[in-house]
């Protein structure tokens, strides 16, 4: 029996194409939304800050340059491919191998014809999009008024025009070269170019196309070679940056000749396009290559080797002089005032009488050391913090300018520990509170800084100001602030000083960030910060603002992307607000004849770390902008500080109305701006070599200087000593001024270097206090040059004298007793008394868990004489024969609380027998006798009890200091003060 099965109808396979297309569309939309959200949040940030034009200008310029690059590459390549294909021989006889290639290529021909130009265009578009700044600077270029000594061109040609022209020529050369390659490939594939044995046959159409493209390419190379003669003025050679004798007399003429030969060869290619003879252009190419070797390489080598090297000093002199003059101009040191300074090394009594004001302002508080001390006294809570290195500013107190060490109390959310949550970190703990300022020249009897502004709530000499720090160097990544006036504040303002359960809350009422006033904004910021809480939390309302990019440097950099910013923004109280002051520089590496150096290397020292692999070579710098960032609102304000700078003038045309004139700077702000440290470091680096202004000595390098290594560095550490801010009176000044200084020693190898002073550079850092008007001497550089035959000790030598002196070592060992260590502060060099005075504060710090340094002693040196006392005032008197003739800022500081140490005789360096005084009047022996009586037995008994209590308090203080228990130290100090006060009362003040 045969069974049959009915045939089942086949089911058509489902096409997966719709699903794939749907997924691709959805994926593209998701990617597009993420891109849009990123761009939109950027726009919201810039718009709120008031610098939307900076962002949109960059966007439009980038888009425009992308389109230019895309079209300029894609269209010529596409035309070349189309012409080569359309003008192919129709009946060309091809080899079997080319037939197979055609079979493979033909199905993809249309795709390749469009795809290759598009792909090349995309690469070109992305490359040109990154060059929009060069193009805009060329369109908006500003003459400098200074001409180069070789070609007589305005230096703006090298700053703005030459980079643009070279970029255009390089891009056009790449386009033509790719067009030639595409033409040759298509012509060969379709038979316009055929190789038959040793014979090369090219069709007429292909010949014309290739010859014209080759001629255009050679014309571009002629332009490039012509422009290269100007490049010699910014290239660094073995001797100088700029054109040397060989460049001027061989390289530059050679490039002019080569450019002419390239034009001639290009003309031969154009001729070949019509007459069909390739011999002439081929011979021309060979001639160009040989000429390049002979004229471009061999001839300059011969001139250098046989003419210049034997007579280098004579022949190179005018070109070295060009380098000296233009380097000094490019770095702003051409107006430095050199002052011969015959420094004495004899510490005579009364020597500081004429420098009394400078002596009174010598800073003994080291901002790089005292941060732990300030934190211990002023941090209050673990969720506050201070920078590791504090800043130096100055304030007018009772009509007198006072140097101050300053810092802001910033938020540290890591201190919340297990209390951290999204709500606490984002909504509650949003800002720091208050600015702390300490007198730079004073200390308490215990070695603590003396504050002129401190506390929570803040109080002191600086008056009323907005103390909240929403924008700082340590601010959180983002915070959400603001709420309707009808709701209770939730942002922690500051804790109670007396009751931990009592805290003050605040609601941000400024304009500091984009508003989250609709669901879409909440969504895009939730995506930006990858936090769904921003979208879901009830704490985010229509009045909320999101604060981010809060670092002052970041905000200024985004508002002015063309600036190079100083590495050290500093806070100051200005016009009732805490503002960050940031110095901005315009730089270039294209200034003719100016020495090129790495900016990162130039500013690196013990206060600024070296940046590895930094590509930041410059040979021109100006402090063109002073910027402020409001610590409460985050508002960024840019002021044109150098209105003569052509680079800034050019950028102001690109970004109009973003930089305010200096006339809008208030007098209070003017009184707090200072000469920037990074610019000064660059200038001291240049002046180490370019203080020599005559080409002859410059060539021999017989008087090259170097910045000394930091005296606190280890033996193998060559980290440089940073410059320091001080108020002092330089020779040539009528009165002391806030200044920035550094010193020089002879340049040499580590084996041959000598730590003796050869120069002392100071910049007047005080801009005055008149609205919109710089002080007459602001930025004035004064260079003290010491006689070569004198041997004034340098910082390294002085530090070695301090460390090796037996009496100082003995005193240091006493300070190290117990669980303590000694920290040497900054070694300052001050030109007073007809010589150079060295001052170094010495701190004692416990090695226990709670440790912070206390200023206990001061080291001073003048010539080879040193002194080591409890206060600067005492040390100066000892150093200068018992009377320095002036008082230091710590005059009157009670030195009886310092550990007992021997003083150092300035002449012998031995114990001079001076009692530094832990003895308050009690006998140091065991009987406790005072030697003081009142005649009344009852009063004498009370007096003895008070003195015994004082003696015990001194012992308790010393024990607490050795243990690092500063709470007990403070309690013992209070008992000592109370006991001494009782004793004075009982003795009638005797």
Query: How many Å apart are CA 462 and CA 445, to the nearest integer?
Result: 24
Q: Write the CB contacts of 541 (distance below 8 Å, at least 6 apart in sequence).
A: 483, 484, 516
Nearest to 408 by CA among 264, 230, 552: 552
Tell me what pLDDT residue 918 has: 35
Nearest to 359 by CA among 874, 925, 847, 964: 874
Please state the rounded mean pLDDT for residues 599-607: 92
Query: How many Å apart are CA 642 and CA 857, to the nearest integer?
Result: 43
Query: How many Å apart are CA 866 and CA 864, to the nearest integer?
Result: 7
> Residue 523 has which token pair?
């969504």
Q: Write the CB contacts of 131 (distance below 8 Å, at least 6 apart in sequence).
A: 65, 167
Dihedral over alpha carbons 321, 326, 328, 331 (to 10 degrees): -160
- Neighbour-count burial for 909-927, b at 16+ CB within 10 Å, e otherwise: beeeeeebebebbbeeeee
**Residues 639-691: pLDDT tens digits?**
999 999 999 999 999 999 999 999 999 999 999 999 999 999 999 999 999 99
Q: Write the CB contacts of 570 (distance below 8 Å, at least 6 apart in sequence).
A: 391, 392, 393, 406, 580, 581
Tell me what pLDDT residue 980 has: 75
Helix, strand, or coil (residue 797): helix
In the predicted model, is pLDDT for residue 964 greater than 70? no
Note whether 830 and 726 are within 8 A (CB): yes
Confidence class for position 103, pLDDT limits 50, 70, 90: low
Query: How many Å apart are CA 232 and CA 529, to the nearest integer?
Result: 49
Q: Which residue has the higher pLDDT, 949 or 316?
A: 316
Q: Write the CB contacts of 583 (distance below 8 Å, at least 6 apart in sequence).
A: 565, 566, 623, 625, 626, 627, 676, 678, 679
Burial of 515 (0-12, 13-18, 19+ CB in 10 A): middle
| DSSP letters spanning 847-864 | -SSS--EEEEEEEEEETT
| DSSP letters spanning 871-928 | SHHHHHHHHTTT--SS--TTTT--GGGSPP---B-TTT-SB--------SSS-SSSS-
Query: How many Å apart are CA 100 and CA 235, to the nearest integer?
Result: 52
Note whether 88 and 204 are within 8 A (CB): no
Confidence class for position 935, pLDDT limits 50, 70, 90: low
Share of the chain above pLDDT 70, in %: 89
Burial of 756 (0-12, 13-18, 19+ CB in 10 A): middle
Q: Count CB atoms within 10 A of the CB of residue 834.
A: 18
Q: Which residue has the higher pLDDT, 62 or 417?
A: 62
Confidence class for position 956, pLDDT limits 50, 70, 90: confident
Share of the chain above pLDDT 90, in %: 68
| DSSP letters spanning 693-718 | -SHHHHHHTTT-EEPPBPTTS-TT--
Which helix (DSSP H) or strand (DSSP E) does residue 291 occupy?
A: helix 279-293
Helix, strand, or coil (residue 429): coil
**For residue 238, what is the DSSP state?**
S
Confidence class for position 919, pLDDT limits 50, 70, 90: very low
In the predicted model, is pLDDT for residue 927 greater than 60? no
> Residue 828 has which token pair?
């300052």
Please state the rounded mean pLDDT for residues 175-191: 90
**Residues 833-860: pLDDT tens digits?**
999 999 999 999 887 767 889 999 999 9
Beta strand 837-846 with 853-862 is antiparallel
Q: Please work out, in degrees rounded to the nearest 5, the angle formed at the alpha carbon of residue 509 by the alpha carbons of 508 and 513.
A: 75
Nearest to 822 by CA among 916, 940, 718, 961: 961
Residues facing residue 396 across a β-bridge: 401
Please state the rounded mean pLDDT for residues 246-263: 96
**Residues 135-163: pLDDT tens digits?**
999 999 999 999 999 999 999 999 999 99
Tell me what pLDDT residue 592 has: 97
Q: Write the CB contacts of 932 (distance below 8 Å, at least 6 apart in sequence).
A: 921, 943, 987, 990
Please state the rounded mean pLDDT for residues 409-428: 92
Helix, strand, or coil (residue 784): strand
pTM (predicted TM-score): 0.86
- Count Cα neighbours of 141 within 13 Å in the Cβ-side half-sphere: 18
Confidence class for position 278, pLDDT limits 50, 70, 90: confident
Beta strand 636-640 with 659-661 is parallel
Q: Taking the CA atoms of the chain, what radius of gyration do you get in angstroms? A: 37
Total count of residues recorded for the chain: 990
What does the mean pLDDT of the chain come to?
A: 88
Query: How many Å apart are CA 972 and CA 653, to the nearest integer?
Result: 66
Query: How many Å apart are CA 983 and CA 990, to the nearest integer?
Result: 9
Note whether 433 and 493 are within 8 A (CB): yes
Note whether 359 and 888 are within 8 A (CB): yes
In the predicted model, is pLDDT for residue 511 greater than 50? yes
Residue 665, preceding bond cis, omega within 30 degrees?
no
Note whether 870 and 891 are within 8 A (CB): no
**Residues 626-644: pLDDT tens digits?**
999 999 999 999 999 999 9
Confidence class for position 932, pLDDT limits 50, 70, 90: low
Confidence class for position 911, pLDDT limits 50, 70, 90: very low
């Amino acid at each position: 029996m045969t069974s049959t099965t009915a045939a089942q109808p086949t089911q058509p396979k489902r096409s997966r194409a719709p699903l794939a297309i749907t997924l691709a569309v959805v994926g593209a939309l998701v990617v597009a939304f993420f891109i849009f959200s990123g761009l939109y949040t950027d726009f919201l940030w810039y718009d709120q800050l008031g610098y939307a034009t900076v962002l949109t200008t960059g966007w439009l310029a980038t888009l425009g340059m992308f389109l230019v690059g895309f079209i300029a590459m894609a269209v010529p390549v596409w035309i070349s491919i189309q012409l080569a294909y359309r003008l192919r021989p129709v009946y060309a006889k091809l080899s079997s191998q080319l037939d197979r290639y055609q079979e493979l290529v033909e199905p993809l021909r249309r795709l390749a014809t469009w795809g290759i130009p598009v792909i090349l265009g995309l690469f070109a578009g992305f490359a040109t999009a990154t060059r929009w700044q060069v193009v805009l600077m060329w369109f908006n270029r500003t003459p400098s008024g200074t001409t180069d000594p070789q070609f007589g061109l305005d230096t703006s040609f090298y700053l703005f025009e030459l980079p643009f022209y070279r970029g255009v020529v390089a891009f056009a050369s790449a386009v033509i070269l790719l067009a030639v390659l595409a033409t040759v490939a298509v012509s060969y594939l379709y038979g316009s170019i055929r190789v038959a044995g040793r014979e090369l046959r090219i069709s007429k159409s292909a010949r014309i196309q290739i010859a014209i493209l080759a001629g255009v390419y050679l014309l571009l190379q002629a332009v490039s070679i012509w422009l290269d003669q100007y490049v010699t003025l910014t290239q660094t050679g073995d001797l100088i940056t700029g054109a040397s004798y060989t460049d001027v007399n061989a390289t530059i003429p050679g490039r002019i000749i080569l450019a002419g030969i390239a034009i001639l060869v290009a003309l031969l290619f154009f001729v070949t396009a019509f007459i069909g003879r390739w011999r002439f252009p081929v011979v021309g190419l060979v001639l160009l290559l040989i000429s390049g070797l002979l004229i471009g390489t061999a001839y300059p080598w011969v001139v250098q080797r046989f003419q210049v090297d034997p007579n280098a000093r004579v022949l190179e002199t005018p070109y070295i002089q060009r380098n000296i003059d233009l380097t000094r101009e490019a770095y702003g040191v051409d107006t430095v005032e050199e002052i011969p300074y015959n420094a004495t090394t004899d510490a005579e009594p009364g020597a500081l009488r004429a420098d009394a004001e400078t002596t009174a302002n010598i800073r003994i508080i080291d901002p790089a050391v005292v941060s732990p001390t300030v934190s211990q006294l002023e941090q209050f809570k673990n969720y506050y913090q201070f920078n590791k290195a504090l800043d130096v500013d100055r304030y007018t107190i009772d009509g007198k300018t006072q140097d101050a060490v300053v810092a802001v109390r910033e938020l540290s959310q890591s201190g919340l520990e297990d209390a951290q949550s999204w709500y606490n970190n984002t909504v509650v703990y949003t800002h720091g509170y208050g600015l702390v300022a300490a007198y730079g020249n004073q200390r308490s009897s215990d070695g603590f800084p003396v504050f002129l502004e401190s506390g929570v709530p803040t109080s002191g000499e600086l008056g009323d100001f907005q103390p909240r720090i929403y924008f700082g160097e340590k601010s959180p990544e983002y915070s959400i602030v603001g709420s309707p006036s009808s709701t209770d504040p939730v942002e922690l303002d500051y804790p109670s000083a007396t009751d931990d359960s009592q805290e003050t809350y605040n609601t941000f009422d400024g304009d500091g960030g984009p508003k989250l006033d609709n669901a879409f904004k909440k969504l895009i910021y939730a995506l930006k910060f990858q936090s769904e809480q921003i979208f879901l939390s009830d704490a985010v309302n229509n009045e909320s603002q999101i604060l981010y990019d809060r670092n002052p440097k970041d905000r200024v950099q985004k508002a002015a992307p063309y600036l190079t910013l100083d590495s050290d923004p500093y806070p100051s109280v200005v016009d009732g607000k805490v503002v960050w002051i940031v110095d901005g520089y315009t730089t270039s590496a294209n200034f003719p004849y100016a020495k090129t150096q790495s900016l990162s290397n130039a500013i690196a020292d013990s206060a600024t770390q070296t940046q590895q692999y930094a590509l930041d070579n410059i040979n021109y710098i100006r402090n063109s902008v002073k910027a402020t960032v409001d610590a409460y609102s985050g508002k960024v304000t840019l002021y044109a500080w150098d209105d003569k700078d052509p680079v800034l003038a050019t950028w102001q045309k690109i970004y109009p109305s973003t930089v305010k004139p200096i006339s809008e700077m208030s007098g209070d702000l003017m009184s707090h701006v200072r000469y920037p440290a990074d610019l000064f470091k660059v200038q001291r680096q240049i002046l180490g070599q370019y203080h020599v202004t005559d080409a002859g000595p410059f060539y021999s390098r017989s008087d090259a200087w170097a910045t000394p290594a930091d005296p606190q560095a280890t033996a193998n550490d060559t980290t440089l000593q940073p410059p320091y801010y001080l108020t002092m009176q330089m020779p040539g000044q009528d009165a002391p001024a806030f200044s920035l200084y550094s010193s020089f020693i002879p340049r040499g190898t580590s084996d041959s270097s000598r730590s003796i002073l050869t120069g002392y550079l100071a910049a007047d850092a005080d801009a005055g206090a008149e609205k919109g008007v710089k002080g007459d001497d602001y930025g004035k550089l004064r260079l003290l040059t010491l006689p070569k035959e004198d041997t004034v000790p340098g910082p390294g030598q002085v530090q070695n004298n301090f460390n090796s002196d037996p009496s100082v070592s003995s005193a240091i060992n006493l300070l190290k007793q117990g669980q303590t260590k000694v920290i040497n502060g900054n070694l300052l060099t001050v030109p007073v008394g007809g010589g150079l005075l060295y001052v170094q504060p010495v701190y004692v710090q416990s090695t226990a868990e709670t440790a912070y340094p206390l200023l206990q002693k001061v080291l001073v040196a003048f010539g080879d004489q040193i002194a080591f006392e409890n206060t600067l005032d005492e040390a100066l008197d000892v150093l200068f024969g018992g009377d320095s003739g002036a008082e230091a800022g710590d005059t009157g500081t009670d030195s009886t609380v310092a550990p007992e140490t021997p003083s150092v005789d300035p002449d012998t360096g031995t114990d001079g027998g001076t009692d530094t005084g832990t003895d308050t009047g009690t006998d140091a022996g065991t009987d406790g006798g005072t030697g003081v009586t009142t005649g009344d037995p009852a009063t004498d008994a009370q007096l003895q009890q008070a003195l015994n209590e004082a003696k015990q308090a001194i012992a308790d203080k010393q024990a607490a200091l050795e243990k690092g228990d500063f709470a007990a130290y403070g309690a013992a100090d209070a008992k000592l003060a109370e006991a001494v006060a009782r004793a004075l009362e009982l003795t009638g003040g005797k």
